[in-house]
Amino acid sequence: MAIDVLIAEDEPSILEALDFVLKRAGWSISAVMDGEAVMDAVRREKPRVLVLDIMLPKRSGFEVLKQIRADKATSALPVLVLTAKGQQQDRRIAEELGADKFVTKPYSNADVVDAVRVLMGETGAVAAPPK
């Protein structure tokens, strides 16, 4: 079954907050907490958007992103990258690897929702929840 958003984030409290906010926006959510699990989850759950933290255990967000872009089946998946360091260099690397959007921690919930919405192709307020 396809879900709307897959979240890859290792901080439990941040994950909880994201989960709550994105569900509130009307999307179905699934989550993984380390880098190795992301690929499997993407293949299995076929999310429309991936929210990806860079500082992931086991396999970093960069590696995951590279893997996603290398795989034909997933190369078109829109990816929103969360950077904790908020540094130019991380951003640049993610951009080169093919990230579609960035949100820098600490973010406002609305920013994340807007970014995900843009990536879904639903613009602005007219977007209706897919359900």
Partner 1 sequence: MILTADLVIATAVAYVGLLFIIAYLGDRQTRTRTGGFLRSPFVYTLSISVYCTSWTFYGAVGTAARSGLEFLTIYLGPTIVFLGWWFILRRLVRISHDQRITSIADLLSSRFGKSSTLGVLITVLAVIAIAPYIALQLKAITSSIEAIAGSSEFGRGSLEGWDEVGLAFGVAAGMAIFTILFGTRNVDAKEQHHGVVAAIAFEAVVKLAALIAVGVFVVYMGGGMDSIFANAAAAGHEIHARDTFGDRWIAMTILAAAAVICLPRQFQVTVVENSDENHLRTASWAFPAYMLAMSLFTLPIALFGLSFMPEGSNPDMYVLTLPLAVGQDGLALFAFIGGFSSATSMIILESIALSIMVSNHIVVPVMLRLTSGTGIGDGQGVRRLILNARRISIILILFLGFGYFYLTRTSDALAPIGLISFTGVAQFLPAILASLFWRDASTKAAICAVLVGFVVWLWASFLPSFASSSPIVADIIANGPGGIGWLRPQELFGLNGLDPLTHAVFWSLFLNSTVLILGSLITNQSALEHVQAALFLNVFRRTRSEDSPIRGTATADDLFLVARRVLGHGRAVELFSEEAKLARMPWTTLEPSPAFIRRLERELAGSIGAASAHVMLSKVVSGDSVSLEEVMRMADETQQAIEYSQDLEKTSTELRATAEKLEEANRQLRKVDLQKDEFLSQVSHEVRTPMTAIRAFSEILLSESDLPRESREKFISTIHKESLRLTSLLDEILDLSALERGERAWENRPLDAEESLDQALRVCDALARQSKTKIVVESRAPSAYVKADPDRLSQVLINLITNAIKYNGAIAPEVTVRSRVRGKSYIIEVEDNGIGIAEDERGRIFDKFYRGRLGETGPYSGAGLGLPISREIIGRMDGKLDLVSSADEGACFRITLPLIAKPDAKAAQ
By the criterion CB under 8 A, which residues form the site for partner 1? 10-11, 13-14, 16-18, 20-21, 24, 34, 55, 57-58, 84-87, 105-110
Nearer to partner 1, 39 or 55 (CB): 55
Smallest gap from Cβ 52 to partner 1, in A, equals 15
Cis bond before residue 78 (omega within 30° of 0): no
Nearer to partner 1, 14 or 127 (CB): 14
Q: What are phi and psi of 86, to 5 degrees?
A: 65, 25
Smallest gap from Cβ 67 to partner 1, in A, equals 17
Six token digits for residue 93: 């690397």
The torsion defined by the Cα of 59, 71, 39 and 77, in degrees rounded to 10, comes to: 110
CB 4 within 8 A of CB 130: yes
Smallest gap from Cβ 121 to partner 1, in A, equals 25
Nearer to partner 1, 70 or 110 (CB): 110
Six token digits for residue 79: 């990816």
